[in-house]
Structure 1
């Protein structure tokens, strides 16, 4: 595999869902990343991903733009909701349930990182999954 060290979201196919989309820009199958994967999530106003977890993986969520509510459950399963905006970094511990909702009037964009790589592959099994071809 040739190294692909510089990737824009428009350069890759995206995972589309009813709530938004994820463009993986770092992944083992894309550029040989070994310890993590990641990409750009776009959430339209009023949309977000529902409560879920990533067994055996940690996640970092960085808010690029927009504003919303981020929920991360405590180890005891108590949901903690925090307002988030540009520049906020959210750490989601291994196996922890979490969700994100765009509460703003415009789009919300996030950069997410999974470690180890792999949790994003399960998204392909969701009923509303569709592959959005890369921009030409």
Structure 2
């Protein structure tokens, strides 16, 4: 039977490492040929988070797998709406809207993120604290 990339574990792919945490892309054009979205697992240590940013031309879905945090998403007028989030919460970030996530819990926070269309995550490679970590890191 031919090997497929339909079933991908976080430890099977390279990871984007940052001072604030990690992103492991598990679905993307370069991983398994996905054409309309990309996504992966984000790990945030306690007290860490990603700064306010946006993805021009892309929507994002953030699903909280574990941990507790604070999520900000700007409304259509640019006003920041911030709320506490935890396991099972789905956050929708409309196209091009600024948003941020911070782990406010005492343990790690894990998220699954989806970008549509794919590609916004590739801009992360340009950040000054970016480092590519080998699979299993």
TM range (shorter): over 0.9
5 Å matches for 1:86-97? 86-97=87-98
Task: Give the RMSD, CA atoms, in angstroms.
Answer: 1.0
1:54 corresponds in structure 2 to 55
1:82 corresponds in structure 2 to 83
Whole-Å separation in 2 of the counterparts to 1:82 and 1:132: 32
1:34 and 2:35 are equivalent in the alignment: yes
TM-score under structure 2 length normalisation: 0.97
Whole-Å separation in 1 of the counterparts to 2:56 and 2:136: 32
User: What's the CA shift for 1:93?
Assistant: 0.1
Q: Is the 8 A contact 1:56 1:95 kept in 2?
A: yes
2:132 corresponds in structure 1 to 131
- 2:112 alignment partner, SS class: strand
Matched residues, number: 135
| Structure 1 residue ranges without an equivalent (≥5) | none
- 2:107 alignment partner, SS class: coil
Instruction: List structure 1 segments (4+ residues) > 4 angstroms apart after TM superposition.
Output: none
| Structure 2 residue ranges without an equivalent (≥5) | none
5 Å matches for 1:96-107? 96-107=97-108
Whole-Å separation in 2 of the counterparts to 1:40 and 1:108: 10
2:74 corresponds in structure 1 to 73
- 1:5 alignment partner, SS class: coil
1:114 and 2:97 are equivalent in the alignment: no
TM-score under structure 1 length normalisation: 0.97
Whole-Å separation in 2 of the counterparts to 1:76 and 1:131: 36
Whole-Å separation in 1 of the counterparts to 2:83 and 2:115: 21
User: What's the CA shift for 1:75?
Assistant: 1.1
